[in-house]
Amino acid sequence: MIDRFVAVPSFASRGAPFDAPPPPQSAARPSVERLALAAEFGPLARLVAAPEVTDVFVNGGEQVWVDRGDGLERADIGPLTAAESRDLAVRLVALGGRHVDEATPCIDVRLDGGVRVHAVLAPVAPSGALLSIRLPQDRRLDLDTLAAAGMFDRDPAKLDRLVRAVGARTNLLISGAGGSGKTTLLAALLGAAAPDERIVTIEDVAELRIDHPHVVGLQTRQANVEGAGDLGLDRLLRESLRMRPDRLVLGECRGAEVREMLAALNTGHDGGAGTLHANSLDDVPARLEALGALAGMSTAALARQAVSGIGLVLHVEREGGVRRVAAVGRLALADDARLVVRRESW
């Protein structure tokens, strides 16, 4: 692991000024790709086509909710019937190359343009089919754009520090709650990697949209109707090591694959990165220990591997409509050899 910082040119000096406000939502226009995809969403088409919408939720065919960047609100469209919500779920999942039925009632799928759909059918969802639709920005957000939107508290020194960490090939872990901006920040940071580096991403459902000339992505595969042929994150991580990655990226660490990821970061694969669900920076050690337990790792083994393999932890929070890096720290061993995180000034 390399955790030193090296001097690199400031990103803020090459794009929009740091104090420039983000472009107003009213000025946004949906892309041709988004408009074409919206037609597949039937009664939800108008919501999906709106460029300011980030999430749409169908609650069992009774209610439709939408997030336009300022939190959830009831959508101004009529409710879907139970049959309509189920048919829509089946069609969208099939569009992404997967299947959802009574035998496989819960599924996650990626559509064109990075749109992510999670579906749950009855009887697992007693009120009817549930749909959670995540709509990414039509354009890829770089570090300058995130800075202007407040991700780094409009402080050039904070952005420069993270750019230097990427340049130094520091292994990064980004934590936060769902919808806090972990994936968006990860993609923007990876876009700052040297153009001659090969980035290999491993995701359950492909979401990362990285503005970089050499990105190769792997995505898990669900089992077929006979229950065979599934490929999980742990298997894909092992396969990726044979692809000569300069930067190995795990879109989200959520299970036993933490063992393979930490093993890779401890065997010469510097510059790696990933995300982790956690309520706060202080909760990251406990989350890692829980995932390590799923992989059969002892707390001592997990702690030593994590301290050696992860150079910097960034915790992202969403406050109102603003997503920001709220805390930064480094993993360390306590006196009793348990994993802890040491907060750093930010």
- The CA dihedral of 226, 227, 231, 234, to the nearest 10 degrees, is -170
Please enumerate in sequence order all residues whose Cβ is within 8 A of that of 27, keeping only pairs 6 or more positions apart, or say none.
none
Domains recognised in the chain with CATH numbers: 29-134 (3.30.450.370), 138-344 (3.40.50.300)
Q: Which string of b and e fits 258-278 if b means at least 16 CB within 10 Å?
A: bbbbbebbbeebbbbbbbbbb
99: region left, alpha or beta (phi > 0 left; psi from -120 to 50 alpha): beta
Rg (CA), the chain: 20
CA separation for the pair 104, 111 (Å, rounded): 19
Please enumerate in sequence order all residues whose Cβ is within 8 A of that of 134, keeping only pairs 6 or more positions apart, or say none.
54, 55, 115, 116, 117, 207
4: region left, alpha or beta (phi > 0 left; psi from -120 to 50 alpha): beta
CA separation for the pair 242, 175 (Å, rounded): 27
Q: What's the pLDDT score for residue 31? A: 66
Q: What's the pLDDT score for residue 179? A: 83
CA separation for the pair 326, 181 (Å, rounded): 12
218 forms bridges with which residues in the sheet?
202
DSSP 39: G
CA separation for the pair 23, 37 (Å, rounded): 24
> pTM of the predicted model, to two decimals?
0.76
Please enumerate in sequence order all residues whose Cβ is within 8 A of that of 80, keeping only pairs 6 or more positions apart, or say none.
43, 58, 61, 64, 88
Q: What's the pLDDT score for residue 146? A: 94
Q: What's the pLDDT score for residue 11? A: 39
Mode of pairing for the β-strands spanning 106-110 and 72-74 = unpaired
CA separation for the pair 112, 95 (Å, rounded): 9
- The reply to whether omega before 245 is within 30° of 0 (cis) is no
CA separation for the pair 209, 137 (Å, rounded): 10
Q: What's the pLDDT score for residue 288? A: 97
Length of the chain: 346
Q: What's the pLDDT score for residue 3? A: 43
Taking the chain (346 residues) in runs of 10, the rounded mean pLDDT of each run is: 40 39 47 79 92 90 85 87 92 91 89 88 91 83 92 95 97 94 95 96 89 94 76 93 95 94 92 96 97 96 96 93 93 94 94
Q: What's the pLDDT score for residue 324? A: 95
